[in-house]
A and B are shown apart, each in its own frame.
Chain A
């Protein structure tokens, strides 16, 4: 395996530095929110994690479609990398969201559209990984994974819309869920700056992790090929 290219090394260092800077901004630069106090600090990383999860979701869908068109194994590696990263960051987003929800909404979990969709998306990803586990032939595994990614990429947005549909049709539910709770929280310009900095930081971390995971996928592919050659 080739050594890490120089850009990747720079990205490694940049990710660490940016992360520390973002942490500093959250605790030292951004002002305290009036009603929620310190609890609100989790918001910056919560949003950033969900953002990275979304990036991974989109990247996986694109890689899946490109694989189906080009039939090139490298897109399968990209797709798997995106799915794994998205899976982990959505879990972090759900956990940080729950920690935030407990004091501000009064419960760790509500069946609100975004939360429910995130949970269902996690289920799609887990099913995706189980599907891959059950297939040995790399070509078939890549094809099936791409098809399932495509189906997930279409059904998850529809799920989001359909949950939203019945929340808006039954107005009783709306009063108790997030739309009202989030409305009473206005961001100052310093808070906005912190949020965008956190988003930028996590985007860099995403690119860095994505790159590393793709390299790992390429290594795994080489191992698989070596094993096959040994057997022949």
Chain B
């Protein structure tokens, strides 16, 4: 696709600075998303309420007595993050599509991957905010101490991979007819490595296992994050191309 030439009547310095221009573009997209969210609070409130409801449902579904809790906590946390995550991913791309913002972004004279990284970072921010709220609430409700530096690292790594794939797939899902139901179906089968590794590593840290026993899972998370960020960066052009 030929992009319109916009450089003619502008100072050339705005467009001809690839590296800082790229970072500026990412920053602008993240800033736009966060500012819009600060004003409307649509996305975060929905994600948070949903996450708390999932925890509530697990409480009744699993009869979380102290013994079960020790085994089930990592699984419940990651199921909650995964479900709440799809809600946020779906919404954040749907907003772009509905109000025609995506077309505007695509017309901007920046590299397309800047859009991908911008959206990924803002989605990651939303997910981390939800996790930051869920963790203390869960700790209080179930009298379990979740403030473990290892667990925080696992949550960070897991969220990065989840959002890296999720942003790419959600930008595909919003362009289909069945968009509201499609994202979880597309996303869950391909993020299973993250869920396996994150649940195993989280329970390792919570049970105080030695670091050598947890490291394979941490490595797996890092490998997944790197591979899928790179793949998404390479193929994002094909997904938004018109």
Contact = CB atoms under 8 A, between A and B. Distances in A.
Contacts of B172: 131, 144, 147-148
22 contacts: A68-B235, A120-B189, A127-B185, A127-B189, A130-B178, A130-B185, A135-B177, A143-B241, A144-B175, A147-B238, A150-B231, A151-B228, A155-B189, A155-B191, A155-B192, A159-B192, A162-B193, A162-B220, A165-B216, A166-B200, A166-B217, A169-B213
B176 A154 contact: no
| B interface, over-half SS | helix
Nearest to B199: A166
A147 B190 contact: no
Contacts of A159: 192-193, 196
Nearest to B241: A143
Contacts of A123: 188-189
B146 interface: no
Contacts of A68: 235, 238
B182 interface: yes
Contact of A147 (B189, B213, B235): B235
A163 interface: yes
B235 A134 contact: no
Interface of A: 68, 120, 123-124, 126-127, 130-131, 133-136, 140, 143-144, 146-148, 150-152, 154-155, 158-159, 161-163, 165-166, 169
B179 A134 contact: yes
B62 interface: no
Interface string B149-181: 000000000000000010011001101111100
Interface of B: 165, 168-169, 172-173, 175-179, 182, 185-186, 188-193, 196-197, 200, 213, 216-217, 220, 223-224, 227-228, 231, 235, 238-239, 241
Given A120-B192, A133-B178, A134-B176, A127 B238 contact: no
A162 to B, nearest CB: 4
Given A144-B238, A158-B224, A162-B220, 7 more contacts: A120-B192, A131-B176, A151-B165, A162-B193, A162-B196, A165-B220, A169-B216
Contacts of B168: 147, 151
A4 B165 CA distance: 42
A120 B196 CA distance: 13
B164 to A, nearest CB: 11
